[in-house]
């Protein structure tokens, strides 16, 4: 009976958690936000990515009188990957260039979050680019893991 009650109470929590994270990949970082962002930016450049911008949301919020935990966004991409993807489904351009969010949660844990390539594939009904999606997925996962771990 206790197991049944536990299952009934946990299912809604798990569902909410899964729903909230749909389409996002979250990687726990061993470093603070700035260092994680610096590491990520360096790794992206090493892989031939263009860094279009680094937005420090928490600094902008402070200027607006809003207290926000450390939050940065790195906007990056590579036309060699993005252009063929847009050729498969032009609407994917709304989600390109790629973005990586580096943020600190309420417990003080730093995270790297980015759009899951398969989610973008589904969202934009991308067909004919399955190999490219898998390649992008692996590259992003490898870069995020390297940036987040010692």
pLDDT tens sequence across 44-102: 999 999 999 999 999 999 999 999 999 999 999 999 999 999 999 999 999 999 999 99
Taken in order 118, 119, 122, 125, the sign of the CA dihedral is negative
Which has the closest alpha carbon to 78: 135, 147, 24, 22?
A: 135
Model pLDDT, residue 145: 98
Element (H, E) at 24: strand 24-28
Considering the domain boundaries, does residue 18 fall inside one? no
Considering the domain boundaries, does residue 4 fall inside one? no
Considering the domain boundaries, does residue 48 fall inside one? yes
Q: Residue 5, SS3? A: helix
* pLDDT surpasses 50 at 119: yes
Prediction pTM value: 0.84
Supply φ then ψ for residue 116, to 5 degrees: -70, 125
Considering the domain boundaries, does residue 9 fall inside one? no
Model pLDDT, residue 22: 83
Considering the domain boundaries, does residue 110 fall inside one? yes
Furthest-apart CA atoms within the chain: distance in Å: 57
Distance CA 127, CA 129 (A): 6
Domain range holding 36? 23-148
Distance CA 147, CA 41 (A): 9
Considering the domain boundaries, does residue 66 fall inside one? yes
Greater model confidence, 21 or 101: 101
* pLDDT surpasses 70 at 11: no
How far is CA 45 from each of CA 27, 49, 51, 110, rounded to the nearest angstrom?
19, 5, 7, 21
Tally of structural domains, the chain: 1
Which has the closest alpha carbon to 121: 73, 148, 86, 79?
A: 86
Considering the domain boundaries, does residue 30 fall inside one? yes
**Which domain CATH number covers 33?**
3.30.310.70
Return the percentage of the chain with pLDDT > 70, whole number: 86
Q: Quick one: pLDDT band at residue 21, thresholds 50, 70, 90?
A: low
How far is CA 67 from each of CA 34, 41, 55, 63, 74, rounded to the nearest angstrom?
17, 25, 16, 9, 21
Mean pLDDT lowest among 12-26, 44-58, 64-78, 104-118:
12-26
Considering the domain boundaries, does residue 138 fall inside one? yes
- Per-residue tokens: 100: 């990586």
Query: Alpha helices, DSSP H only, in 32-129?
Result: 33-46, 57-63, 79-88, 117-123
Q: Quick one: pLDDT band at residue 135, thresholds 50, 70, 90?
A: very high
Model pLDDT, residue 50: 97
Encode pLDDT of 29-49 as tens digits: 999 999 999 999 999 999 999
């Amino acid at each position: 009976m206790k197991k049944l009650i536990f299952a009934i109470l946990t299912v809604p929590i798990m569902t909410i958690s899964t729903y909230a994270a749909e389409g996002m990949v979250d990687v726990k970082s061993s470093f603070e936000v700035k260092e994680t962002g610096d590491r990520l930016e360096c790794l992206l450049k090493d892989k031939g990515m263009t860094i279009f911008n680094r937005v420090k949301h928490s600094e902008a919020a402070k200027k607006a009188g809003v207290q926000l935990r450390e939050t940065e966004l790195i906007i990056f991409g590579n036309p060699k990957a993005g252009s063929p993807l847009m050729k498969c489904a032009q609407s994917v351009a709304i989600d390109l260039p790629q973005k990586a969010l580096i943020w600190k949660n309420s417990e003080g844990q730093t995270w790297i979050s980015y759009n899951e390539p398969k989610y973008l594939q589904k969202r934009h009904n991308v067909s004919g680019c399955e190999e490219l999606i898998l390649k992008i997925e692996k590259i992003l996962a490898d870069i995020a893991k390297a940036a987040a771990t010692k």
